[in-house]
Structure 1
Amino acid sequence: MILRFLNEELLNVQKPARYIGGEFNQVRKDVENKFRIALAFPDVYEVGMSHYGLELLYHYINSFEEFYAERVFLPWVDMIELMEKKDIPLFTLETKTPVFNMDVLGISIEYELSYTNVLKLLELSKINVESEKRKDGDPIVIAGGPVVFNIEPIAGVFDIVYIGDGEKNLRQLLDLLYETKGARRLDRLKEAAKIPGIYIPQFYRQRGKKVVPIKDVPKKIKKNAIGDLDECFVPIRQIIPNVQSIHDRGVIEISRGCTRGCRFCHAGYVYRPVRERSKKNVVENAKKILKETGYEEISLLSLSAMDHTTLNEIVDGLLPYIKEKKISMSIPSTRVDAFNIELLSKIASVRKRGITLAPEAGSQTMRNKINKNIDFNEIYNSALEAKKAGWNKIKLYFMVGFPDETEGDIKEIGELLREIKRMKFKLVTASVNLLVPKPHTAFQFVKIREPEYMEYVYSILKNYKRYAKIDVNDGKKSFVEGILSRGDRHLFRVIMKKYKMSYYDEWTEFFNFDEWIESFKDIDLDKYKGPYSLKDDFPWDHIDSGVTKYFLWKEYERFFKGESTKDCRNVCSYCGVCQILNVENNLKI
């Protein structure tokens, strides 16, 4: 039925290559006697195929003989309409198997605005959206990714939530589900709850704001954290997409975690501690990836790649190979204070593109308060040296909406752009976004700003548009994301209502703020805006990232005092991660 549908209808949709599979380096297995896992990314194919975590899990799971992992993405709206019209269920790319016939459906959630996509993906898969209404023979639906550190607004969807590094206990979980296939669903979930880092939402209930167990399960679920990245699986034969992906390049993860302590950064807290991959491991595997894929670019993936202890040696180790093959190298994340123009000039020796810096705040006062720990001279000199080295385009990222922010703090964004423009870059662009208070960060306590605040920001920065192309976000997406990120189980009915109106909320052309406001009428929205205190219960208090709530509160207090916290590579900040999770920073000196 599915193959016939594809044969007859594929040319009636945009980018039909999104749905055919068969890519170079796709894994092919005989499905006989295999435990089958559908790995889903709830967005369009070219976005999902750019996600390194999906690539990693796909090849990691397929490295085991008894498992077969296949891929699933949310079709584009034209394909969804056609599938619904023809009553075609969502299917895997590898074997065109309906998702409802798989043993497991694993969904990676990277951002809160994909919640409506998750529900649409399940509906299209013909799987009941609510976990407690599923039958024994239905796929076990698992959530993973950074958003699961507060999954509560959409917890009712998932049978299992996997928290933390997939390499730690995912194999154990899949082995259990394989061995118990055919048993009662509830019994399988009870056994899964015994595995570290596994959260079974239906075994918990929300009381007030707090989520508490109703069965014999842990009160707090500690995240899974690996100790040594060198011992972890590296996906070598990375799939070459049929449609050009957002990030069309090979990827090697050089480190995981960050210890800088920027007070707004969710990833910086929940991925602690930092674990580096060694120079030898990176260089050898990067060359293998390039040989197995034919990519013309290799990306050194990290939250803060410039902080890698042996980054210079890694670059020097790869340069002869990439120069010979005319391959470019990129670093997707660059901190200003770690900015090394000589090093970046080496990296860009094959192809020079625009350069990106993230000062985050315009004024020195605010940069100190958010613990960015960079000064004006570092930003200015980095941009100047980049210009001297041959870069002609520069982009800068800023955030606004911090507590106690003044008009002067915002004006300083414009003044910084004025100084950089004087360096005679051909193009200076700036992106200005509203702060999204995230769980497990120092700003989980703050009051979120209303979208109208961005009109005030624009009224100040419009006077500086002659110095740069300034994109001041309207704040509407950020506001909705902020509500969802600190939400609880009462928001599930909001998301259910919204997805029936529209989905693809991360996409500007589909995001509809009025529909969200209409959906929020079912709840008291003021309860989700903040501010909060240390004594307030959070719906994510039962999820243990390793960073203690008390430490985050002290960081919040330090914000108002303008006090900095040092990088814990050098001085322990006693955040709790190493002691609670029995891990530590693993630097490859």
Structure 2
Amino acid sequence: MILEFLNKELLKVQKPARYIGYEFNSILKERDGKLRIALAFPDVYEVGMSHYGLELLYHYINSFDDYYAERVFLPWVDMIELMEKKGIPLFTLETKTPIFEMDVLGISISYELSFTNILKLLELSKINIDVDKRKDNEPIVIAGGPVVFNIEPLYRAFDVVYLGDGEENLKKILEILNFTKGEKRIKRLEELSKVGGIYIPLFYKQSGRKVVPVKNVPKRIKKNVLEDLDDSFVPVNQIIPNVQSIHDRAVLEISRGCTRGCRFCHAGYIYRPVRERTARKVVENAKKILNKTGYEEISLLSLSAMDHSTLNKIVDMLLPYVNEKKISLSIPSTRVDAFNVELLTKIASVRKRGITLAPEAGSQKMRDKINKNIALDEILRSALEAKKAGWNKIKLYFMVGFPGETEEDVREIGELLKEIKSFKFKLVTASINLLVPKPHTAFQFAEVREPEYMEYVYNVLKPYRKYAKIDVNDGKQSFIEAILSRGDRRLYDVVKKKYVKSYYDEWSEHFNFEDWIISFNEENVNLGDYKGPYTVKDNFPWDHIESGVTKYFLWKEYEKFLSGEKTDDCRNICSYCGVCQILKVENKLKI
């Protein structure tokens, strides 16, 4: 039925190559006798194929003979309409198998605005959206990714929530699911709940804003932590997409975690501690990936790549190879203060592209408060040296809406852009976004600003548009993201109401703020309950999820924000955040 549908109807939709599969380096296995896993990214193909975590898990699972991982993405709206019209269920790319026939559906969640997409994906898959209504023969639905550190607004959609690094306990999960195939669903979930880093939402209830057990399960669930990245699995045979992906290049993870302690950064806290790959392993794997894929660009992936202890050595070892092969080497997530001019010049000798820096705040006072720990002269020196090294385009990222932020703090964004423009860049671009106070960060206690605040920011920065192209986000998507990120179980029915009205909320052309407000009102949910501010005494719906960073530490960091006190990089001085002590791990630097 599915193959017939594709043969007859596929040319009626945009980019039909999104749905055909059979890409170079994709994996086809015999299906019989294997536990079959559909790995889903709840967004369009081009976005999902750029997600390194999905690529890693796909090849990792398929490295075992007993398991077969296939991929699925949310079709674009035209394909969804056609599938619904023709009665076609969502299917895997590799074997065109309906998702409801798979044993497991694993969904990677990177952003809260994909919540509506997830429910739409389940609906298209013909899987019951509510976990307590699923039959024993329906796939076990597992959530993973950074957002699951507060999954409560979507708690009823998932049988299992996997916390932390997938390489640590995923194989054990699959072994249990394989061994218990055919048994009652509740029995299988009980077995899975015994594994470390596994949260079964069905076995907990919400009391007030707190989530507590109703079965014999842990009161707090510690995340899974991979202790050493150096010998961990690397996806070498990376799949070449049929449609150009958002990040169309080879990717190699050189480190995981960050020690900087920026107080707004969700990833910086939940991925602690830092684990680096050695220069030898990085170069060895980079060459393998480039040889297996034919890509003309490779990106060294990290939360803060310039902080890698041996990055200069890595670049020195890679440059002869990439120069000979005419391959571009890119280092994203460039920190302003870690900007190495010599390194920049070396990379620029291969291929010059626009450079991106993230000062985050315009004023020195606010940069200190958010613990960005970079001075104005460092920002300006980095920009100037980038220009000298051959870059003609520069983009800068800023956030606004911090507690206590003044008009002068906002105006200094414009003053910084004015000064950078004086370095004779052809194009200076600035992206201004509303702060999203995330759980498991120091700003989990902060109040989120209303979207109208961005109109004020726009007017403050209006005189500086002659110096830079300034994109001031309207704040509506950020506001909804903030509400969802700190939401509890009461929001599940709101999301359920909303996805029927509209989805693809992370795409500006499909995001509908009014639909969200209507959905909140229909469920009699008061937005004010989720805007903050909060104190350390307030219960959070994610308090039972243990990232390793303690609530008390985050409160002290928020107090430091309010007083303007900085915290040192924990590579230098231990800040006793709790990760190393609670999870029995430590930073693994490959000096």
Instruction: Identify the TM-score tier after normalising by the shorter chain.
Output: over 0.9
Give the alignment of 1:516-555 within 5 angstroms: 516-521=516-521, 522=523, 523-555=525-557
Q: Which whole-Å CA distance do the structure 1 matches of 2:543 and 2:492 have between them?
A: 18
Give the equivalent residue in structure 2 for 1:492.
Answer: 492
- Give the superposition deviation at 1:147: 0.2
Whichever residue aligns with residue 54 of structure 1, its letter is: L
Kept in 1, the 8 Å contact 2:348–2:389? The answer is no
Letter in 1 for 2:581: Q
Query: Which residue of structure 2 lines up, in the alignment, with residue 419 of structure 1?
Result: 419
* Aligned partner letter, 2:560: R
1:288, distance to aligned residue in structure 2 (A) = 0.1
The Cα of 1:347 is off from its aligned counterpart by 1.6
Conservation of the 8 A alpha-carbon contact between 2:168 and 2:226: yes
Corresponding position: 1:154 with 2:154: yes
Q: Secondary structure at the match of 2:230?
A: helix
State the distance in 2 between where 1:347 and 1:303 align. Answer: 19
In structure 1, the residue matched to 2:87 is 87
Aligned counterpart, 1:577: 579
Gaps of 5+ in 2: none
Question: C-alpha separation between the residues in 1 aligned to 2:7 and 2:201?
Answer: 41
2:69 is paired with a residue whose SS is: strand
| In 2: Cα distance, 1:469 partner to 1:425 partner | 12
The count of residues paired between Structure 1 and Structure 2 equals 589
Give the deviation of 1:28 after TM superposition: 1.1
Q: Secondary structure at the match of 1:465?
A: helix
Give the TM-score, by structure 2 length. 0.99
CA shift for structure 1 position 286: 0.3
Cross-structure match for 2:566? 564
- The alignment partner of 1:429 has SS state of strand
Deviation of 1:569 (Å): 0.4
How do 1:116-135 and structure 2 match up within 5 A? 116-135=116-135
Q: How far apart in 1 are the matches of 2:112 and 2:348?
A: 34
- Matched-pair contact (CA < 8 Å) for 1:330–1:348: no
| Residue identity in the other structure for 1:545 | S
**SS in structure 1 of the partner of residue 482 of structure 2:** helix
Q: Aligned equivalents of 2:164 and 2:366: distance in 1? A: 31
Structure 1's consecutive aligned runs of 4 or more residues displaced over 2 angstroms after TM superposition are none
Percent identity between matched residues is 77
1:93 is displaced (CA, Å) by 0.2
Q: Is the contact between residue 199 and residue 221 of structure 1 (CA under 8 Å) also seen in structure 2?
A: yes
Which runs of structure 2 are paired with 1:418-497 in the superposition (5 Å)? 418-497=418-497
Q: TM-score, normalised by structure 1?
A: 1.00
One-letter code aligned to 1:229: L
- The separation in 2 between residues aligned to 1:349 and 1:165, in whole angstroms, is 36
Q: Partners of 1:341 and 1:4 in 2: how far apart?
A: 57
Give the deviation of 1:348 after TM superposition.
Answer: 2.4
The CA deviation string for residues 14-60 of structure 1, in whole angstroms up to 9 with x for no partner, is 00000000000001101111110000000000100000000000000
Paired letter, 1:276: E
Offset from partner CA, 1:485-511 (integer Å, 9 cap, x none): 000000001000000001000001000
Corresponding residue number in structure 1 for 2:194:
194
- Partners in 2 of 1:499 and 1:435 — Cα distance? 24
Deviates more, 1:9-18 or 1:517-526: 517-526
| Alignment partner of 1:286 is 2:309 | no
Does residue 158 of structure 2 align to residue 171 of structure 1?
no
Q: How far apart, in 2, do the equivalents of 1:332 and 1:16 lie?
A: 31
Task: Indicate if the aligned counterparts of 2:344 and 2:389 stay in contact, CA closer than 8 A.
Answer: no
- Tell me which amino acid in the other structure corresponds to 1:560: L
What is the identity, as a one-letter code, of the residue corresponding to 1:283? V
2:546 alignment partner AA: D
**Partner Cα distance (1:49, 1:347) in 2:** 26
- Which amino acid is 1:407 matched to? E
> C-alpha separation between the residues in 2 aligned to 1:283 and 1:362?
37
In structure 1, give the amino acid aligned to 2:214: I
Secondary structure of the residue that 2:433 maps to in structure 1?
Answer: strand
SS of 1:229's equivalent?
Answer: coil
Instruction: Output the aligned Cα RMSD.
Output: 0.4
**2:348 and 2:390 in contact (8 A); partners too:** no
Which residue matches 1:108?
Answer: 108
Q: In the TM superposition, what whole-angstrom CA distance separates every residue of 1:148-171 from its partner, at most 9, and x where no partner exists?
A: 000000011000000000000000
